[in-house]
Amino acid sequence: MCGIFGIVGHPEASNLTYLGLHALQHRGQESAGIVASDGHSLQAHREMGLVADIFTAPVLEKLPGGAAIGHVRYSTAGGSQLKNAQPLSVEYVGGHMAVAHNGNLVNAQELRTALEADGAIFQSDADTEVVVHFIARSKQPTFEQKAVEALSKVKGAYSILFLTENKLVAVRDPYGFRPLVLGKLKNSWVLASETTALDLIEAEFIRELEAGEMVVIDETGLHSSQPFQPTRLGRCIFEHVYFAKPDSVLFGTSVYETRKELGRQLAKEQPAPGADLVIAVPDSGVPAAIGYAQESGIPYDVGLIRSHYVGRTFIEPQQSIRHFGVKLKLSAVRQVLKGKRVVVVDDSIVRGTTSRKIVKMLKAAGAVEVHLRISSPPTQWPCYYGIDTPSRQELIASSHSVEEIARYVTADTLGYISLDGLGTAVGDRERTTFCTACFSGKYLTGELNNASAPSTESAPKLAIIA
Amino acid sequence: MCGIFGIVGHPEASNLTYLGLHALQHRGQESAGIVASDGHSLQAHREMGLVADIFTAPVLEKLPGGAAIGHVRYSTAGGSQLKNAQPLSVEYVGGHMAVAHNGNLVNAQELRTALEADGAIFQSDADTEVVVHFIARSKQPTFEQKAVEALSKVKGAYSILFLTENKLVAVRDPYGFRPLVLGKLKNSWVLASETTALDLIEAEFIRELEAGEMVVIDETGLHSSQPFQPTRLGRCIFEHVYFAKPDSVLFGTSVYETRKELGRQLAKEQPAPGADLVIAVPDSGVPAAIGYAQESGIPYDVGLIRSHYVGRTFIEPQQSIRHFGVKLKLSAVRQVLKGKRVVVVDDSIVRGTTSRKIVKMLKAAGAVEVHLRISSPPTQWPCYYGIDTPSRQELIASSHSVEEIARYVTADTLGYISLDGLGTAVGDRERTTFCTACFSGKYLTGELNNASAPSTESAPKLAIIA
Amino acid sequence: MCGIFGIVGHPEASNLTYLGLHALQHRGQESAGIVASDGHSLQAHREMGLVADIFTAPVLEKLPGGAAIGHVRYSTAGGSQLKNAQPLSVEYVGGHMAVAHNGNLVNAQELRTALEADGAIFQSDADTEVVVHFIARSKQPTFEQKAVEALSKVKGAYSILFLTENKLVAVRDPYGFRPLVLGKLKNSWVLASETTALDLIEAEFIRELEAGEMVVIDETGLHSSQPFQPTRLGRCIFEHVYFAKPDSVLFGTSVYETRKELGRQLAKEQPAPGADLVIAVPDSGVPAAIGYAQESGIPYDVGLIRSHYVGRTFIEPQQSIRHFGVKLKLSAVRQVLKGKRVVVVDDSIVRGTTSRKIVKMLKAAGAVEVHLRISSPPTQWPCYYGIDTPSRQELIASSHSVEEIARYVTADTLGYISLDGLGTAVGDRERTTFCTACFSGKYLTGELNNASAPSTESAPKLAIIA
Amino acid sequence: MCGIFGIVGHPEASNLTYLGLHALQHRGQESAGIVASDGHSLQAHREMGLVADIFTAPVLEKLPGGAAIGHVRYSTAGGSQLKNAQPLSVEYVGGHMAVAHNGNLVNAQELRTALEADGAIFQSDADTEVVVHFIARSKQPTFEQKAVEALSKVKGAYSILFLTENKLVAVRDPYGFRPLVLGKLKNSWVLASETTALDLIEAEFIRELEAGEMVVIDETGLHSSQPFQPTRLGRCIFEHVYFAKPDSVLFGTSVYETRKELGRQLAKEQPAPGADLVIAVPDSGVPAAIGYAQESGIPYDVGLIRSHYVGRTFIEPQQSIRHFGVKLKLSAVRQVLKGKRVVVVDDSIVRGTTSRKIVKMLKAAGAVEVHLRISSPPTQWPCYYGIDTPSRQELIASSHSVEEIARYVTADTLGYISLDGLGTAVGDRERTTFCTACFSGKYLTGELNNASAPSTESAPKLAIIA
Ligand SMILES: Nc1ncnc2c1ncn2[C@@H]1O[C@H](COP(=O)(O)OP(=O)(O)O)[C@@H](O)[C@H]1O
Ligand SMILES: Nc1ncnc2c1ncn2[C@@H]1O[C@H](COP(=O)(O)OP(=O)(O)O)[C@@H](O)[C@H]1O
Ligand SMILES: Nc1ncnc2c1ncn2[C@@H]1O[C@H](COP(=O)(O)OP(=O)(O)O)[C@@H](O)[C@H]1O
Ligand SMILES: Nc1ncnc2c1ncn2[C@@H]1O[C@H](COP(=O)(O)OP(=O)(O)O)[C@@H](O)[C@H]1O
Ligand code: SF4
Ligand code: SF4
Ligand code: SF4
Ligand code: SF4
Ligand SMILES: [Mg+2]
Ligand SMILES: [Mg+2]
Ligand SMILES: [Mg+2]
Ligand SMILES: [Mg+2]
């Protein structure tokens, strides 16, 4: 998953992009990059790691100019390499361009094959690069027309920023899978994945880009258009459930309030009568847990403490001390849990292994009953639109009933919110404006026969070399 | 401030010490070290940085043996150098010894001067090193007798672990300023600053060491003694207020429950009638905020989100984007705060600058009233016993009334808990077993004329060199 | 300048390539790279720095397979970046390919412009990349036919190696500017810039590739062809004068013996009657100095010691201690020089600044006369075929007579070998098989109007960004 | 082995020390350090590695002041750690002091044991540290008197520099084992192991310090004294044979000329009638080879090329490509050697393995006869005075006759210079002013029963820990 940020018309463009990326760090912790334009040429810096470690003062000084775009990235194992870090930046016949993309294209592999057959050479494994090649090959006169031509060929999710020597172009795909907001900081325009980035730099929130909208900012000002075929909306509901930062306003509503509402709805659908207290799996479960507590009247308390020093990348140093993973991140508060019937609220269950460890930890700390409540429906399908979910086989809910999952995670009871309840909480009971494919299997872009998964079959070709 | 951990009798002593230090990381983020014994000799590794970054598998493999001690350290600017990282380890006439110390000695400077006059050469600036020199010079026959002789000469706070080739010795000073607990993991003994470290490695909590107690663990087993002159107790009350991790049991009570009790007491002493909601300054303010909400009946909610990516060491990259400090760490949830009269609970106010920024951030996000409540009395005096507080001049409460502070931080009202209330919440209304010097000015070790501050006066001595 | 190495049919291909590059390190110290094939896919590693620092055991382990090519590179300031390090490796419609190139193409810039106009995106500034794009776009059926088609479009100097999953292709341009030799190590074929690399790995020297020859090695064995339009030979005479390692056999003769012969010829043309001793500017001047001494009968001695610790990249740390450059590299032996009339032999004079410092150093050490003798004619023209020479203006001989140069470098006398003498020493008096353009101005590829120099003119385009 | 440098009275003291150490790098490549004084306090920087890599501009900027001392170090495996890097710098009762020592003390271990028994704590394994402890414990009134008292207790080789806030003290032991020279650069005094360091910074060579001399430089100027018991001279003859840089003047004579004289003497004692040419094992064998050629009339030529890219620390990356060591460093010039009877001159034979590889390489390159000539007598005894020689068992000459060695190294003939010839060449036929212990076994400091070798015997002490 990824976060993107852009600013144009500010003397400290790359410094502000650094801050914006910092605010969006939760959207990707693997690599980060900034490309800045000083009106003549683009300067780029990309590195594996966290924003605050990468962009030291000397690095930022080498990114001068009044416009910049930035990117934070997370990806599953295979593609985790520097060459896939964004923004991509290339020289082509029209000059320089840089691209920062959030989302995933579902027809990238077939387009890439076609481009390669036509002599194109790819620098990265990223789906984004096909867009770059289409732009470089376009015969359209202006950059924005080239970009429209290129994007017309791709299918899937994209909130995307382009930077040239003298232009910033922002586009959101017609489904509107991923968020993208427009802000204003004095005389400069700002674009960001989430409003939390605007708040940090004290930019004013203007509006969300519409699905299918293209915004061009250059010396003549800001121009908006709707260059693509319209289609139904498919905003990612999982951004509300888990992914976005709680202080952001997303698709028109507060993430925090939406999550609390999910908790309230969950309490209605899946009550836990007789329980003594409601706790969250911190931090993502906190808003829904508070909602659940408010709705149910069961008191909210803190039963698990989240360590400040564990990121996603924690590696256990030694075979014999494996499986400390969850315990290093979360520790139980015995005096709160002892002898209590506990409702514990989390946002989702993926493989079930973490939930199982948490339930066991709560019981070891003295909880007599553990009632697990999940503020989204069972996650049964992989996401092809930019969220890193494992394959179907690994998703416990794709092959197990709720009861079986409850038994696996050793919870006394387990309750998920319903699809309808999820829709209700986000204000769209029928889910006609949201994507819910990971819960419902209804992929808006049609049949997906693993087009994006590269074949790994290949036989050795030459004995003398192998 | 520091955290210490030790284990003896386990084939993976250094791996477990690594885990223990990880659990104690909140007690010091500047440097970490482990010294292990294989029965013949000691191996040491110390580095600036976080436990998880320093102790990779190859590093831990070079620390073999059945006993180990470890240390995490935080200190104010001056002494932040590798040479001050602990555990100290030296060779002396008796063989090898390593030392890990939590606390601060108030007569270290004068003892050091005397030792230097007698030919001693110091490797570090750490007060701990005087203990090492006294041990090296002691004519006592056994290591534990040498240690007792050495510790009898020092005054102040120490929870301290010594490791030799074949012995682990743990001592807590007669006041018992700093915590130190004993645990058991199968056949091995464990010592740690806080119970959270025992929980992580699934060791059984046996008991807290008593003030003035010395525990020696060697091939003949565990031996306890009380070798020092007894005195009144002076357990650091600020450990409960802020420093310890909420899931620990400290001085016999749960840190989390104590903080919640502080919040309840605060609600009684400093109500906020008419307020709409209670929020915390996360994470340290959360337990007291929940207690305050429960006692007052005003609903608890989340108004500030704490970033997962900001540690204490965040450095702003550029003059022009200074003062983003607090905003990078905390972001306000507008939809929760908008139009509300808000009670915000934090544990303490040091300089006032952070509180001021938080209050302003809440108002900018729409709060119409901000009522700041602090779960400890005004911090008026520096700590000489191991907590890094700034000098008196920098402590806003040392020179300003509560009203003046309220005005400075721009809160509508400001209320601190009373000293009596603080005592009550920790179960010792008269505070006869706690140190409260940073709030009361009553230093248990007597007059302190800045003995520990080194003179910085010195004139250039030779023109040809300067 | 660059060095290239390839091997196919050996289980330790990348280890041997590492050794080969080590032996060729004098041909480029800026970056190094190896690409290996295991029959299925190519693995690459490129880094700035020296071969021995880059290719540690863990790095080499990640380069498995029976075939590998490698490259060492030196370039002038501008292009000194990782992205220009070779071997280039890309994926294209035909699979993977990697390229290692020694030499310089004179029409690269115009070809690049045309390719970009056709939608190509370049990854690097290297001229080599146009060849890669032509191959990717070729409709020829086999890789070697694609390569021939691509190379037919470029003009200039190339000794070049291509590696695909199952083939190694080696080509030398029709002029034969740069060397390339073929060797055999048991059942594997080896290609290298110089024979010194064959000697190191104990491979048998088979023969030099002919100018214009293409060699293809695959599962069916080694195949040679002459696919290009024949032309006259233009082997780089400066490889003999300075660039190659003295123990190599180059264009059919020993480098060391050729240099000694240059010294003898120089002694005949430019004697120094009455001199007491002949010394070299080490190490490059040593062979010619020995030849000069033998021919003239003046005794050879060592008057300058070359430091083992100074590479080309020495950076002086402080303004005030600048100009220590030459002194850090060379130190004078006073007792040898004192009161003596000294002949000092070097291979060439570029800007004159180093020679000037050397002459002054010799006089400061007591030499009463310094007679500078140069074993090549005045360097008057830049090289466009792969040697990094400065622009014409910086070459002292392009605007100064020998007499003026003598005065500038403060030598008592200065003598260069003649063009005829140079030809005689290499066994081709008329120079019909060698390039001598840097001495004669006769560029074999025709008029060169700085085609390869990129224009740096460019006006800011957008006020809002700059 | 080590090199030392000091300067006092120059505004750029640490920059000049950096240059001085660069010139002395051949005396130690393992670690380097500089300590500077600004008249108030000492600043230190020590690191493993080469001078030019360690002392970048920012590092040097942190070493301000008008006086500095520096050290380069090489040592055998065991002690190769940062804590042993010099200059040592400590705080003691008298203030700060730093020490840079070249040489080895033969009674360090027994002194250390005694100091530890008296409570001293050692920071390093270096013998030098006993001197520091004696100074710290001395009751003498001035620093120089403390230093004299301390040095009176030690036995062995020391050329040593002390720096305090306002004084530089230089001492050479009464035997004068290691060199130490005094120079002048404008108003500042310079001290260095060899004159090559003076030449580099353009300082004037004043004189060598006398054996047993102490020089004190402070605000009152330079003061010389002879505070120790006089004894016979024992200047290290091996400095002339191999260790010092050829352009230095050592113990009153030119190293280069001395080596050439050794070659001449060798030619007289060990002629090689019928040989076609004389070559050197570069670089150390070059001067003697030239001398041999001049004396014998056999022409000198270059048969081995020394790589510019191999230091002492070359590590082969892979089991299967071991034993490339010598070949990576030296390559043979076939055309020079082919069919020739070759005299090859080197300075010494230690284990014989390198010589064996060289002889084989020469024969593989076509030499029909190889006559090995060594410009020092058989190395039969280890050095206890600061040169890193292996133990007796590893020295091939300690257990093999010259004939046996010849057979082992596969040379057709082998000839060493005689002890008398060695003495003659250095101008002291009877060797009454030189140490020759490594050749003769006559140790000037008396019986040496491996006092300095630490016992490695030690039994595990405690089962529970091991
Ligand atoms: N301070 C916070 N409070 C509540 N939720 C947060 C906070 N910070 C981030 N989040 C949300 O929680 C998610 C990360 O949550 P967390 O549960 O801590 O880790 P995990 O990704 O392992 O579940 C983020 O993606 C974001 O939506
Ligand atoms: N997950 C948590 N919840 C509540 N308190 C915590 C948690 N983790 C640590 N703490 C406590 O909060 C302190 C750090 O709190 P925080 O307010 O986040 O930072 P700061 O030190 O800047 O106040 C720790 O020392 C510890 O006592
Ligand atoms: N050991 C050697 N003896 C003589 N020439 C050498 C040796 N090693 C390398 N060379 C040759 O000398 C050139 C480098 O020589 P040198 O004069 O030392 O440096 P510079 O490049 O500064 O002139 C190499 O390119 C090579 O041709
Ligand atoms: N340029 C040089 N010419 C001759 N001798 C040198 C030169 N530079 C250093 N030396 C001497 O040679 C020694 C190192 O010689 P060398 O034979 O190259 O390596 P090794 O230490 O492996 O024998 C140095 O200690 C020094 O005495
Ligand atoms: S499949 Fe799920 S995660 Fe992916 S876009 Fe749709 S709702 Fe979001
Ligand atoms: S002064 Fe305060 S912080 Fe220090 S020990 Fe006493 S109560 Fe704790
Ligand atoms: S111009 Fe000179 S350096 Fe270049 S190829 Fe020709 S001879 Fe060689
Ligand atoms: S033993 Fe040999 S190397 Fe050591 S000081 Fe004596 S002569 Fe020098
Ligand atoms: Mg979570
Ligand atoms: Mg806090
Ligand atoms: Mg040269
Ligand atoms: Mg040698």
- CB C438 near ligand 7, within 6 Å: yes
Chain segment A11-55, per-residue pLDDT in tens: 999 999 999 999 999 999 999 999 999 999 999 999 999 999 999
With CB atoms and an 8 Å threshold, state whether D311 touches C311: no
A218 with A257, same domain: the answer is no
C255 with C380, same domain: the answer is yes
Instruction: Identify the band that residue D460 occupies on the pLDDT scale cut at 50, 70 and 90.
Output: very low
- CB A260 near ligand 1, within 6 Å: no
Number of domains in chain D: 2
Is it the case that residue C270 has pLDDT exceeding 80? yes
| Nearest CB to C219 within list A122, A137, A462 | A462
Instruction: Note the pLDDT of residue D454.
Output: 34
With CB atoms and an 8 Å threshold, state whether B121 touches D91: yes
Instruction: Note the pLDDT of residue C127.
Output: 94
B79 CB within 8 Å of a chain D CB:
no
B45 with B182, same domain: the answer is yes
Closest CA to C416 of C379, C380, C374: C374
Mean pLDDT of B391-417: 97
Which ipTM value was assigned to this complex? 0.86
Beta bridge partners of D216: D169, D223
Residue ending a domain, choose from B174, B197, B231: B231
* B46, B128, B217, B465, best to mutate vs chain D, most D CBs in 10 Å: B465
C near A: at least 3 beta-carbon pairs less than 8 Å apart:
yes
Instruction: Note the pLDDT of residue B223.
Output: 97
Range of the domain at C7: 2-231
* D41 chain-B contacts, CB cut-off 8 A: 458
- Domain assignment of residue D380, yes or no: yes
Q: How far apart are CA C362 and CA B358, in angstroms?
A: 72
* Residue positions of B annotated with a catalytic role: 2
A39 with A11, same domain: the answer is yes
Amino acid occupying residue A76:
T
Chain segment B349-381, per-residue pLDDT in tens: 999 999 999 999 999 999 999 999 999 999 999
Chain segment C186-200, per-residue pLDDT in tens: 999 999 999 999 999
Minimal CA separation from D104 to chain C, in Å: 26
Chain segment A418-460, per-residue pLDDT in tens: 999 999 999 999 999 999 999 999 999 986 655 444 333 344 4
A221 CB within 8 Å of a chain C CB:
no
D246-to-D21, D205, D353, D375, D429 alpha-carbon distances in Å: 16, 16, 25, 14, 22
* B119 chain-D contacts, CB cut-off 8 A: 92-93, 120, 133, 136-138
| Nearest CB to C247 within list D51, D283, D305 | D305
Is it the case that residue D82 has pLDDT exceeding 60? yes
A66 with A132, same domain: the answer is yes
Chain segment A253-284, per-residue pLDDT in tens: 999 999 999 999 999 999 999 999 999 999 99
Mean pLDDT of D265-281: 98
Instruction: Note the pLDDT of residue B456.
Output: 35
Q: How far apart are CA D422 and CA D445, in angstroms?
A: 22
Ligand 1 mean position, distance from CA A375 (Å): 14
B356 with B214, same domain: the answer is no
> Coil, strand or helix: which one is B127?
coil
First to last CA, chain C: 37
- CB C177 near ligand 7, within 6 Å: yes
- CB C245 near ligand 3, within 6 Å: yes
Residue B107: count of CB within 10 angstroms of its CB: 17
Beta bridge partners of B170: B161, B215
- Domain assignment of residue D6, yes or no: yes
Instruction: Note the pLDDT of residue C464.
Output: 62
Q: What is the CATH number of the domain that holds D40?
A: 3.60.20.10
Q: Are A344 and A303 in contact (CB under 8 A)?
A: yes
Instruction: Note the pLDDT of residue B449.
Output: 52
Instruction: Note the pLDDT of residue D300.
Output: 98
Give the neighbor-by-neighbor strand order of the sheet with D167-172. Answer: D88-92, D95-102, D159-164, D167-172, D214-218, D221-225
Q: How far apart are CA A140 and CA A137, in angstroms?
A: 9
CB within 8 Å of A41: residues ≥ 6 apart = A96, A165, C458
- Domain assignment of residue D30, yes or no: yes
With CB atoms and an 8 Å threshold, state whether C123 touches A119: no
Minimal CA separation from D33 to chain B, in Å: 17
Chain segment C22-39, per-residue pLDDT in tens: 999 999 999 999 999 999
Is it the case that residue A319 has pLDDT exceeding 60? no
Continuous segment of H or E residues that includes residue D146:
helix D143-153
- Domain assignment of residue C236, yes or no: no
Is it the case that residue D28 has pLDDT exceeding 80? yes
- Please, where are the H alpha helices in B254-324? 255-269, 286-296
Instruction: Note the pLDDT of residue C325.
Output: 78
Q: Which two tokens stand for residue A8?
A: 């144009």
Amino acid occupying residue B421:
G
**Residue B271: half-sphere exposure toward Cβ, Cα within 13 Å:** 8
Instruction: Note the pLDDT of residue C452.
Output: 42
- CB A435 near ligand 5, within 6 Å: yes
Instruction: Note the pLDDT of residue A151.
Output: 98
Backbone angles phi, psi at C54, to 5 degrees: -80, -50
Chain segment B230-259, per-residue pLDDT in tens: 999 999 999 999 999 999 999 999 999 999
Minimal CA separation from C134 to chain A, in Å: 8
Instruction: Note the pLDDT of residue A408.
Output: 98
A77 with A221, same domain: the answer is yes
B263 with B212, same domain: the answer is no
Is it the case that residue B300 has pLDDT exceeding 80? yes
Query: Which has more confidence, C371 or C75?
Result: C371
Among D residues 423-462, those touching chain C with beta carbons less than 8 Å apart = none
Chain segment C161-183, per-residue pLDDT in tens: 999 999 999 999 999 999 999 99
Ligand 6 mean position, distance from CA B103 (Å): 10
Chain segment D405-445, per-residue pLDDT in tens: 999 999 999 999 999 999 999 999 999 999 999 999 999 99
C126 with C194, same domain: the answer is yes
> Coil, strand or helix: which one is D408?
helix
Mean pLDDT of B294-299: 98
D near A: at least 3 beta-carbon pairs less than 8 Å apart:
no
Ligand-binding site membership of B14 (annotated): no
Q: How far apart are CA D132 and CA D98, in angstroms?
A: 9
D214 with D253, same domain: the answer is no
Is it the case that residue B324 has pLDDT exceeding 60? yes
| Nearest CB to A305 within list B29, B246, B335 | B246
B252 CB within 8 Å of a chain A CB:
no
Is it the case that residue A221 has pLDDT exceeding 70? yes
Chain segment C83-113, per-residue pLDDT in tens: 889 999 999 999 999 999 999 999 999 999 9
Is it the case that residue D461 has pLDDT exceeding 80? no
Mean pLDDT of A281-296: 98
Q: What is the CATH number of the domain that holds D352?
A: 3.40.50.2020
Ligand-binding site membership of C38 (annotated): no
Amino acid occupying residue A279:
I
Mean pLDDT of B157-184: 98
Instruction: Identify the band that residue C316 occupies on the pLDDT scale cut at 50, 70 and 90.
Output: very low
Q: How far apart are CA C67 and CA C13, in angstroms?
A: 5
Query: Chain C residue closest to A146 (CA)?
Result: C119
Instruction: Note the pLDDT of residue D266.
Output: 98
pLDDT > 70: what percent of chain C?
92
Mean pLDDT of A297-307: 98
* A47, A115, A121, A134, best to mutate vs chain C, most C CBs in 10 Å: A121
Instruction: Note the pLDDT of residue B448.
Output: 63
Is it the case that residue B56 has pLDDT exceeding 80? yes
Instruction: Identify the band that residue C311 occupies on the pLDDT scale cut at 50, 70 and 90.
Output: low
Is it the case that residue D100 has pLDDT exceeding 60? yes
Contact pairs from chain A to chain C, CB under 8 Å: 135
* Residue positions of C annotated with a catalytic role: 2
Query: Which has more confidence, A75 or B72?
Result: B72
Residue ending a domain, choose from B201, B231, B261: B231
Q: Are D146 and D216 in contact (CB under 8 A)?
A: no
- Domain assignment of residue B161, yes or no: yes
Mean pLDDT of B168-195: 98
Among C residues 276-295, those touching chain D with beta carbons less than 8 Å apart = 283, 286-287, 290, 294
Is it the case that residue B199 has pLDDT exceeding 80? yes
Minimal CA separation from C445 to chain A, in Å: 28
* C459 chain-A contacts, CB cut-off 8 A: 40
C404 with C286, same domain: the answer is yes
Instruction: Note the pLDDT of residue C83.
Output: 86
| Nearest CB to D12 within list C26, C321, C336 | C321
Mean pLDDT of C418-432: 97
- Domain assignment of residue B10, yes or no: yes
Is it the case that residue C460 has pLDDT exceeding 70? no
* B310 chain-A contacts, CB cut-off 8 A: 52
Is it the case that residue B320 has pLDDT exceeding 90? no
Is it the case that residue D447 has pLDDT exceeding 90? no
Instruction: Identify the band that residue B113 occupies on the pLDDT scale cut at 50, 70 and 90.
Output: very high
- CB A308 near ligand 1, within 6 Å: no
- Domain assignment of residue C457, yes or no: no
Amino acid occupying residue A431:
R
Q: Are C434 and C234 in contact (CB under 8 A)?
A: yes
Continuous segment of H or E residues that includes residue D155:
none
A164-173, C436-445, D193-202, D388-397: least confidently modelled range: D388-397
D11 with D137, same domain: the answer is yes
* D196 chain-C contacts, CB cut-off 8 A: 331
Mean pLDDT of chain B: 93
Chain segment D62-73, per-residue pLDDT in tens: 999 999 999 999
A31-40, B120-129, D182-191: least confidently modelled range: B120-129
Is it the case that residue B286 has pLDDT exceeding 60? yes
Instruction: Identify the band that residue C334 occupies on the pLDDT scale cut at 50, 70 and 90.
Output: very high
Pocket of ligand 6 (CB under 6 A): B 177, 236-238, 383, 385, 387, 435-438
B129-138, B236-245, D48-57, D330-339: least confidently modelled range: D48-57
D near B: at least 3 beta-carbon pairs less than 8 Å apart:
yes
Among B residues 105-164, those touching chain A with beta carbons less than 8 Å apart = none
Instruction: Note the pLDDT of residue D463.
Output: 57
Chain segment A44-95, per-residue pLDDT in tens: 999 999 999 999 999 999 999 999 999 999 874 346 688 889 999 999 999 9
B342 CB within 8 Å of a chain A CB:
no
Q: Are B57 and B36 in contact (CB under 8 A)?
A: no
* DSSP collapsed to 3 states, chain A: CEEEEEEECCCCHHHHHHHHHHHCHHHCCCEEEEEEECCCCEEEEEEECCHHHHCCHHHHHCCCCCEEEEEEECCCHHHCCHHHCCCEEEEECCEEEEEEEECCECCHHHHHHHHHHCCCCECCCCCHHHHHHHHHHCCCCCHHHHHHHHHHHCCECCEEEEEECCEEEEEECCCCCCCCEEEEECCEEEEECCHHHHHHCCCEEEEECCCCCEEEEECCEEEEECCCCCCCCCEEHHHHHHHCCCCCEECCEEHHHHHHHHHHHHHHHCCCCCCCEEEECCCCCHHHHHHHHHHHCCCECCCEEECCCCCCCCCCCCHHHCCCHHHHHEEECHHHHCCCEEEEEECCCCCCHHHHHHHHHHHHCCCCEEEEEECCCCCCCCCCCCCCCCCHHHCHHHCCCHHHHHHHHCCCEEEECCHHHHHHHCCCCCCCCEECHHHHCCCCCCCCCCCCCCCCCCCCCCCCCC
Among B residues 231-250, those touching chain A with beta carbons less than 8 Å apart = 245-247, 249
Q: How far apart are CA D397 and CA D405, in angstroms?
A: 7
A222 CB within 8 Å of a chain C CB:
no
Mean pLDDT of C375-403: 95
Instruction: Identify the band that residue A316 occupies on the pLDDT scale cut at 50, 70 and 90.
Output: very low
| Nearest CB to B39 within list D39, D219, D461 | D461
Residue D323: count of CB within 10 angstroms of its CB: 9
With CB atoms and an 8 Å threshold, state whether B199 touches A321: no
Minimal CA separation from A191 to chain B, in Å: 18
